[in-house]
Structures are given as structure tokens and as C-alpha cells.
Amino acid sequence: MSEMYVEGPVLGTIADGLDKGAAGLEDLAGSVPSGVDAGPMTGVISSMLAQVTTSAGNVSAALTGAAALVRLSRTYYERADASAEAGLSDIEDVMSP
């Protein structure tokens, strides 16, 4: 298994980027037309617009959830690093005369 190391601030930057993406999609909500006049194609266009709007909402929610998981991962990494560091310090203290 290969090793992987990620700096805590990098994980914070990733989470912030995911949050910004979600906010960008949510900011578009006010630009969705409330009605469409496309003649005989109005129903089809309205349905397509509803599907795109729903999908954008789902993507926004997924981005927000991913940001939360990245932040949680950062917390776990930091705890593991602190635990490992404390363990190594204890071993060093015992090994020193």
C-alpha cells in the first residue's frame, strides 16, 4: 500500500473550494426563470429546466457534504498525527539515558 500525506491547510483549501462551488450554484437560484413561453414546447422546456434546477441543487448539496467530509478528514489526520507524535516522543524519552 502506498503512503499518502496531506497537509492540514491543503485540506482546508479543498473544503473551502467545495463550499465556494456550492455557494456559486446556490447564487444562481434567483436567475432561474419562473415561467417559459415556448409555444407548443413550453411543457418540454419547463420540464428540462426543472430537471436542470433539481440537478444543480443536488450538486450543491453534494459539494457541501463533501466539504464537511474533507474537514472531518482533516480533523482525523491531525488527531492521528498528534497521537503518533506523542508516541514517538514517549519512545525517545525512554530510549534516552
68 domain-assigned: yes
Q: Is 6 strand, coil or helix?
A: coil
pLDDT (average), residues 3-32: 91
41 domain-assigned: no
Residue 90 belongs to what domain range? 12-22+51-97
User: What total of structural domains would you count in the chain?
Assistant: 1
Cα–Cα dist 48/58, whole Å: 15
43 domain-assigned: no
66 domain-assigned: yes
35 domain-assigned: no
State pLDDT tens for residues 53-82: 999 999 999 999 999 999 999 999 888 888
90 domain-assigned: yes
| 48-84: burial string, b at 16+ Cβ within 10 Å, e else | eeeeeeeeeeeebeebbebbeebbeebeebeeeeeee
Residue 85 one-letter amino acid: E
94 domain-assigned: yes
